[in-house]
Amino acid sequence: MKTIGLVAHDNRKKDLIEWVEYNYERLRGHELVCTGTTGRLVHEALEKKLGAGAVDRMIILKSGPLGGDQQLGAMIVEGKISMLIFLWDPMQPQPHDVDVKALLRIAVMYNVPTANNRATADFLITSKLFNTGYKPKLKDYTSYIQRSIE
């Protein structure tokens, strides 16, 4: 079972909901972790489509600007997120842009497969590695941690 982080900016929420609905059978059996508004909307859409109680493995964090991005980043650091689907809006400035950059930075640092568009998300969940126990290799930051500060 994978734990999949789902995040979408306002102008991309509809795209993410459509993607989750379309791919629900493939996602079923995996845990979904969403930032606040995205999670609420995805949950509502799936229950409307599939019926009440259809969504059994979903964690909804705080809204991104209210700390949800940091909560998701902390889960990545703790090794609790297997992949991240983050449909961000490249055309709209975000008031919490520093949080967005921090989340993406953490995903890269911890080698978490990350999709920023639907095509890449499709590639991730159709990979032969999707339903395996694949563990990404982590970079060793020991030399950074033990560096000399003068």
Kindly list the catalytic residues.
Answer: 69
Q: Among all chains, which residue has been given the structure tokens 């930075």?
A: 105
Q: Which of 46, 70, 50 is nearest to 58 (CA)?
A: 46
H or E, element range at 71: helix 68-77
- Spatial CB neighbours of 43, under 8 Å, sequence gap ≥ 6: 34, 55, 58, 60
Q: What are phi and psi of 33, to 5 degrees?
A: -120, 120
